[in-house]
A = this chain, B = another copy of it.
Amino acid sequence: MITAEDKFRNYLKMKGLKFTPERKMILKTVLSLHTHFDVDQLYERLRKENSDISRATIYRTFPLLIDSGIMKETLLCRDKTKYEHIFGHKHHDHIICLKCGRVIEFRDEEIERLQKAVCKKYGFKPVEHKLGIRGYCRECQSKMGE
């Protein structure tokens, strides 16, 4: 069973890059976050762990983590870029509440299958896809009715 760190080390070696303490710490922290996060949130988390890694280093490390398949950008936000780790996770889609910002993750095999079928129809080779549904969650709907 290959670990995320092995995967990242292999990727770096292949690219002739170094596995530094900073990169190790960022990797560890990214894996510890089980929600979507942005650069600032990761930065704050690192601070709490008594790490003083700079934002610049975070910005320079993220492309490496993405390229190595450990994390990816989510497409949900208009402003700051958001990320989530994907190592060991199956692909899933998102439902986002416009009022409270809550995110529901789901996976629907039938939707996955139909997407593949659409790609086939156009001779398109898919690499990734993102489906986000925005609207109002049950709780916010009932609040709005009041």
Contact = CB atoms under 8 A, between A and B. Distances in A.
Number of copies: 2
Given A75-B130, A106-B118, A111-B115, A123 B138 contact: yes
Given A78-B81, A110-B114, A122 B134 contact: no
Interface of A: 73, 75, 78, 81, 95, 97-98, 104, 106, 108, 110-111, 114-115, 118-119, 122-138, 141
B110 A135 contact: no
Nearest to A144: B125
Contact of A95 (B97, B110, B111, B122): B122
B135 A124 contact: yes
Contacts of A111: 111, 114-115, 118
Contacts of A114: 108, 110-111, 114
A56 B110 CA distance: 44
A115 B133 CA distance: 8
Contact of A127 (B108, B134, B138): B134
